[in-house]
Amino acid sequence: MPIIFCNIGWMKNYNGISGDSIERGGKYNEHSTGHEVCNFTNINGNVYGYVQPVGRSIKIEKIGASKQDDKIDGVDVVWTAGPESGGTVVVGWYKDATVYRDLQSIENQNSKQKRNGVSSYRIKASWANAVLLPVEKRDLIIPRAVKGGIGQSNVWFADKQESQEIVNRTMALIKGESLDLPDIDFNRTIEEGNPRLVAHLRRERNPSIIKKKKDSVLKATGKLRCEVCSFDFKDFYGKIGEGFCEVHHLQPLSKADGIVETKLSDLAVICSNCHRIIHRLDPMPSIDKLSKKLAKNV
């Protein structure tokens, strides 16, 4: 099935502006809120999606239509957006959608569309095929302005070889293959929408990379000592603490947007307390900085 990525303003519900807000987008209708404010409004069993392309039309020949076609059916449309705080993530999708080359007028606006000044759309799908992720589940980062990532345009065809990895990860998300993020002490920030933090946590909670890191540190030092405060779970708790530590990814959040692979040298062994503190601070401090701060306080 052909796929396109459409970047829009950041909202919680995309079901009218009332009780919601829009960040980094939305200036194309009479109320300056953006036609995408109703992208997930159920209108007689359908959804009507809006995105602002460069120029007048969406080049649907790039996803298999002929030059004469005015629309193409059977497209997976992936909606992306990012909050003011940064990062662009997948916020939802329409499966099996119809993408129109040109702007379509909504003939019978419903009351919500009227209230929001939404009079046109570019993509249509069955409401049953539309999935909007809750804010805390929006953690698939789409790198922007890097090779293989989405560029300045809001409509992206992901047709370059370098983009295949992003397409694959998006397809896995749509198919429901992605992991839920367990145990979390950061709920407050995540609910406010911090896709980079969620992506960071997911990256450092990969069980196989954690095991590799622990094995290599144990082999080299015989201990799993916190690199910030030197706490050692085995020393403190005895046998029940043996082999326990957390692993922290050293890459600062924004710099890691496009990075897929984690190297052992990107990781640090850290105790649970230091790990929580590191992620409370924005920007995230280096291990070294936090250790120095700690040394000053004792």
Binding site for Zn ion (CB under 5 A): 204, 226, 228-229, 231, 248, 271, 274
Q: How far is the CB of 205 from Zn ion (least distance, A)?
A: 9
E strand residue ranges, 116-266: 120-126, 130-132, 155-156, 246-249
Say which residue the tokens 């796929």 belong to.
3
Closest listed residue to residue 91, CA positions, set 147, 33, 142: 142
Q: How far is the CB of 116 from Zn ion (least distance, A)?
A: 40
Residue 224's CB is within 10 A of a number of other CB atoms, namely 25
Closest listed residue to residue 153, CA positions, set 32, 4, 2, 49: 4
Q: How far is the CB of 187 from Zn ion (least distance, A)?
A: 16
Nearer to Zn ion, 4 or 271 (CB): 271
Q: How far is the CB of 273 from Zn ion (least distance, A)?
A: 6
Nearer to Zn ion, 105 or 295 (CB): 295
33/147 Cα distance (integer angstroms): 31
Nearer to Zn ion, 91 or 247 (CB): 247
Q: How far is the CB of 212 from Zn ion (least distance, A)?
A: 16
| Contact present, 12 and 104 (Cβ < 8 Å) | no
Nearer to Zn ion, 142 or 226 (CB): 226
Q: How far is the CB of 140 from Zn ion (least distance, A)?
A: 19
Q: Which residues contact 261 (CB under 8 A, 6 or more apart)?
A: none
Tokens of 163: 């983009």
Nearer to Zn ion, 4 or 290 (CB): 290
Q: How far is the CB of 121 from Zn ion (least distance, A)?
A: 41
User: How far is it between the farthest Cα atoms of the chain?
Assistant: 73
Containing H/E element for 289?
helix 287-297
| Contact present, 99 and 60 (Cβ < 8 Å) | yes
Residue 128's CB is within 10 A of a number of other CB atoms, namely 12
How far are the Cα atoms of 13, 138, 192 from residue 135, in angstroms, in the given order? 9, 5, 8
Amino acid letter, residue 251:
Q
Nearer to Zn ion, 142 or 247 (CB): 247
Nearer to Zn ion, 218 or 287 (CB): 287
Q: How far is the CB of 237 from Zn ion (least distance, A)?
A: 14
